[in-house]
Amino acid sequence: MALRTSLRSLARRLGRVIPVKWRLRAIEGVLRLQEPGVRRLYNRTAVAPNYLTIDDLDALAREFPVERQTYLYDADTLEKRGEERARPLLDLVAGKGTFLEIGAADGMVLRAIAQRGHTAIGVDILASNLDARAREAGVRFIQTDATRLCFPDESVDVVYSFATFEHLPDPDATFAEIVRVLKKGGYACIDFAGLGWTYRGAHMYKTFGIPFITALFTRETIDRYVAEHQLPHYFPSINNWPIERFREVFRKYEPQMERIRYSETKDRFHFRFIRRFMPHLRRAPSFDSLLVDQVEGLFRKR
């Protein structure tokens, strides 16, 4: 007992001198080893017959308070994020090119692109978030659904999209449009996170800190709780596509779109929660749909 306690305190002391980055890497290594076991348990578990109740929601809301938002929208952050995201996109074109962003929102990535003399066009279903600085820099904005890009065939050098594909009602139709409007040799850069079945899939961050909330509760229970507690109700629409459906789309367009880079990032930090609520999380279409939280793809039109 005494030996175990002193070993634990030694590990804690060692932990303090090891840089956070290394500690995280070590934890990730351990979690990677645990993944097959959690997957096996998922495959063996039967789906819970009922969703959790409003009382359970109340208890979990207390146990998992809302986390501090780290994705910020102040003017300086928007400018900095725009510059950072534009940099690798600009490298894709040798001379002056036409860039199209899907889900452009504030348009600050396009602004960084326009400021370097390129044609920069944004589409979004909402026009209200466009930053005045983007317009001043010459960004063109078109309010439209991403399944109807009103551009001629083969007219765009680079199409890109950040944090949007998980919101689109029909990512397949949008990808078909991307293929259509891209010039031969043009690039599509797609980056999105928080897929529908993952721990943050519901995008209800401002109201709840509960992971995997939509697998645990019906939307009716969530809405009733929010109304009763007068909580903020900004819940953007999410398509709930599991990762397998996205993979299918990227595979389907492989004959037209060469895959230059593609990566999926798994979140393994919720294994304890997944084990605890396994019968409810079994409601997800697959184990991977719970885990794969981010997709980054770079494709070139053949």
Ligand X SMILES: C[S@@+](CC[C@H](N)C(=O)[O-])C[C@H]1O[C@@H](n2cnc3c(N)ncnc32)[C@H](O)[C@@H]1O
Residues at the contact surface with ligand X, assessed by CB under 6 A: 103, 105, 123-126, 129, 145-146, 162-164, 167-169
Residues with Cβ within 8 Å of residue 291, at least 6 apart in sequence = 35, 198, 266, 267, 268
C-alpha distances (whole Å) from 119 to each of 21, 70, 141, 217, 247 are 39, 31, 11, 45, 31
Beta carbon nearer to ligand X, 24 or 126? 126
Beta carbon nearer to ligand X, 35 or 191? 191
Pair type for strands 182-193 and 119-124: unpaired
Which phi and psi (to 5°) does residue 112 adopt? -60, -35
Beta carbon nearer to ligand X, 108 or 290? 108
Beta carbon nearer to ligand X, 89 or 281? 89
Beta carbon nearer to ligand X, 45 or 240? 240
Closest distance of CB 202 from ligand X, Å: 13
Beta carbon nearer to ligand X, 81 or 268? 81
Closest distance of CB 107 from ligand X, Å: 9
Closest distance of CB 172 from ligand X, Å: 13
Determine the residue with CB nearest ligand X. 103
Helix (H) or strand (E) holding 101: strand 98-102
C-alpha to C-alpha distance for 118 and 42, rounded to whole angstroms: 49
Closest distance of CB 68 from ligand X, Å: 18
> What letter would DSSP give residue 46?
P
Strand partners for 264: 295
Q: Which two tokens stand for residue 299?
A: 């494709």
Closest distance of CB 233 from ligand X, Å: 17
A 10 A CB-CB count for 253 gives 19
C-alpha to C-alpha distance for 282 and 302, rounded to whole angstroms: 40
Beta carbon nearer to ligand X, 100 or 274? 100
Closest distance of CB 89 from ligand X, Å: 13
C-alpha to C-alpha distance for 203 and 219, rounded to whole angstroms: 13
A 10 A CB-CB count for 246 gives 24
Closest distance of CB 181 from ligand X, Å: 14
Give one DSSP letter per residue of 232-287, joined into a string.
-----------HHHHHHHHHHTTTTEEEEEEEEEE--TTHHHHHHTHHHHTTSS-H
Beta carbon nearer to ligand X, 167 or 282? 167
Closest distance of CB 104 from ligand X, Å: 6
C-alpha to C-alpha distance for 42 and 127, rounded to whole angstroms: 42
